[in-house]
Chains A and B, each alone.
Chain A
Amino acid sequence: MLSVYDPRVGPAAAAEILRCEGLTLSFGPRLVQSDLNFSVRRGSIFAVMGGSGCGKSTVLRALIGLLRPTKGAIFIQNENLWGATAARRNQISQKFGVLFQGGALWSSMTVAENVALPLLMLTHIDQAAITQLVRLKLALVGLAAAEDTFPSALSGGMRKRAGLARALALDPEILFFDEPSAGLDPISSQRLDELILGLRDGFGATVILVSHELSSLYAICDDGIFLDANEKTAIGRGAPRDLRENSAHPTIQSFMRRTS
């Protein structure tokens, strides 16, 4: 359950960590996305791209174990997420850190308590060490001063960063971000991008993010998939920059080259 940097492992770090085979998602009779096939390399920053309403967040919910796919399978380190029992799925999802769109902080707890809760619930670390780890996570996201603040007193960007600190609590192997830069000003958004890069390089975590924020897609993502709302499947595969340069699909071209 820990993201461990092991100097002796070395090149094995390039192995695949997550794989989708024929993933199909629907809400009742309404098809959202069908037949998605992709794999995510360990240590990469993988983007799920596409216009609004194409089902990006729905795909993310399936990947983190909140929404059962209609068809197909998701493998986390070669283990079928939705083929496992509910108890096993909970164990697998402890490898995940998730940053929800609005931060999803628990409103009745201070920021520090929010970050401490996963550690309290799922590990046997003693209180002094938890305090130390919580301080570290908050300092990493630049919120050391906000320890005893309640979420309602935080700005949108601070809530995102506090949510990120909580997502980092258990040193996750895979970090999921739902629209990390939505609602942030360009400077905060850039800071968050740098933070994501720093955390990936530091902890060696894999990052999967849902976004339609072009500047951050180009800045940090090295792989990705492009979903389309009309065709209801993936219409492009690869790093955002490569898609912009090499894809012939008109939707991808107009999305990637939007100048505004």
Chain B
Amino acid sequence: MSISIPPTWKVDRRGNVAVLALTGDWLAAKSGMLGVAETDQIIGQIGSCTSLQFDTALLARWDSALVAFVWRLHDITGGRTNLSLDLSSLPEPLRRLVCLAAADKGTPGKPPRAPGLLKFAHAYALGCCAGLVASADLLGTFALSIVPALRGRLQARTTDLTALMQECGSQALGIITVVNGLVGAILAFVGAVQLQRFGAGIYVADLVGVATVREMAPIMTAIVMAGRTGGAYAAEIATMEGNEEIDALRILGVSPQQYLVVPRVAALMAMMPIAYFYANLVGVLGGLLVSGAVLDLTPTLFLGQLRQAVPPADFYIGLSKSIVFGAFIAIASCRRGLGAGRSAADVGRAATDAVVTGIIGVIALDAVFAACTNALGI
């Protein structure tokens, strides 16, 4: 395109009439824009004239830059009774646009100020309480749904349940294998190096067995589920909220808690123990392979020692942990999803919150378990 000529203006006073001559190109992205300073200058130069006309004979090309400029002049002079703007001297398209913009009398409201520290703390505390209440509500809904569910009178679909179980069950096996197999192997490595010094290499089986069955398998599986399934639950429910899908359920009289949350909690609670069982197998396998490679322990020796070392109580503790973790992750994630706003950023925030809450909660719950089992002496 041709070279652009910078925009210029000149005020010419003829008695009571001031003539504003506009020349050059008025292109926002090319020749620059004239703004507040220039319009103020023009108003100053008009002085005591009562009418302002435009001379556009030498005006070349223009776009929004000129419209914005004239609109601003119109805005300023609009508040003055002793000066009238003669828009009819403008080119017709320009006049139409200025009139169109000037027809909107709305003024932007003040942007909301950031709240003070006290107000913020107040709102935050209230939010936390509301969150706890909502979570308790979901837990209660789930508890109250158990009997109707067993009678087959739940507002939920079994196809949803099987799909959800597949999603957090078989489809999660790969990552559970990798994570728990490696954790088992790492435990064996660390144990082997230390125990070998005392000639007690065989006890690596005790270490791997107890640590895996009691702590690592339930925690690692729960963390995988919190990241994988919890995030997905929150994002899915938050998106449904944004699409008014949840409202559509409410209108039908279907409780979103029952229809969406109960199947998810049930699916994760059903799959977590199975995943836990599987995680034990791969964890022990990882430990067995490493002890075979590092300490030359035969599988028979390793498994024999492991059977002596791990009491059934450890397995039951791990199993109950996995069920509790599953319920916690599902309820916390669904709650994050149901409470989310409607924008794209809200969906992301809900997913992040769900994962963070899931992981922190699982570790905190595990501490509670440790304190309880210690007090009970198991």
Contact = CB atoms under 8 A, between A and B. Distances in A.
Interface of A: 1-8, 106-108, 123-125, 128-129, 132-133, 135-140, 142-148, 150-152, 168, 170-171, 195, 198-199, 201-204
B63 A171 contact: yes
B343 A5 contact: no
A124 B111 CA distance: 26
B93 interface: yes
A203 B108 contact: no
Contact of A5 (B62, B102, B104, B112): B62
A3 B62 CA distance: 8
Contacts of B62: 4-5
A152 B343 contact: yes
Given A132-B35, A140-B97, A2 B104 contact: no
B365 interface: no
B96 A202 contact: yes
A2 B35 CA distance: 20
B33 A132 contact: yes
Contacts of A2: 27-30, 63
Interface of B: 27-30, 32-33, 35-36, 59-65, 67-68, 71-72, 91-94, 96-97, 100-109, 111-112, 341-345
Closest 4 CB pairs of A and B: A145-B106, A107-B343, A202-B97, A147-B108
A204 B63 CA distance: 10
A135 B69 CA distance: 11
A107 B59 contact: no
B64 A171 contact: yes
A254 to B, nearest CB: 33
Contacts of B28: 2, 123, 125, 129, 133, 171
Contact of B59 (A7, A148, A199): A7
Contact of A202 (B100, B105, B108, B345): B100
Pick the most buried of B28, B59, B104, B111: most chain A CB atoms within 10 A of its CB: B28
Nearest to A6: B61
Contacts of B343: 107-108, 150-152
Nearest to A122: B29
Given A2-B27, A107-B342, A142-B104, A201 B68 contact: no
B59 to A, nearest CB: 7
24 contacts: A1-B29, A2-B28, A2-B30, A2-B63, A4-B27, A4-B62, A5-B91, A5-B93, A5-B94, A6-B60, A128-B35, A129-B33, A129-B35, A132-B72, A133-B33, A133-B65, A142-B104, A145-B104, A147-B108, A152-B342, A171-B63, A171-B64, A198-B100, A203-B97
B108 A145 contact: yes
B103 A142 contact: yes
A144 B104 contact: yes
B114 to A, nearest CB: 13
Contacts of A6: 60-61
B61 A136 contact: no
A4 B31 CA distance: 13
Given A2-B27, A129-B28, A198 B96 contact: yes
A113 to B, nearest CB: 12
Contact of B106 (A4, A7, A140, A143): A143
Contacts of A106: 344
Nearest to A131: B35
A142 B64 contact: no
A42 to B, nearest CB: 14
B174 to A, nearest CB: 31
Given A123-B28, A145-B107, 8 more contacts: A4-B27, A5-B94, A125-B28, A140-B104, A146-B106, A146-B108, A147-B108, A152-B343
B94 A108 contact: no
Contact of B61 (A4, A150, A152): A4
A142 B93 contact: no
Contacts of B65: 129, 133
B101 A136 contact: yes
A107 B342 CA distance: 9
A139 to B, nearest CB: 4
A140 B101 contact: yes
Contacts of A133: 28, 33, 64-65, 68
A144 B108 contact: yes
Contacts of A150: 343
A203 B104 CA distance: 18
B63 A203 contact: yes
Nearest to A135: B68
A203 B93 contact: yes
Nearest to A141: B104
Contacts of A142: 103-104, 106
Contacts of A1: 29
Contacts of A203: 63-64, 93, 97
Nearest to B37: A128
Contacts of A147: 108
B93 A204 contact: yes
B41 to A, nearest CB: 16
Most chain B CB atoms below 10 A, which of A3, A4, A123, A152:
A4
Contacts of B29: 1-2, 123-125, 170
Q: Which among A8, A107, A168 has the highest number of chain B CB atoms within 10 Å?
A: A107
A108 B344 contact: yes
B186 to A, nearest CB: 41
Chain B CB within 10 Å — which of A4, A136, A142 has the most?
A136
A160 to B, nearest CB: 16
Nearest to A138: B104
Interface hub of A3, A133, A150, A201 (most chain B Cβ within 10 A)? A133
Given A123-B28, A144-B107, A132 B93 contact: no
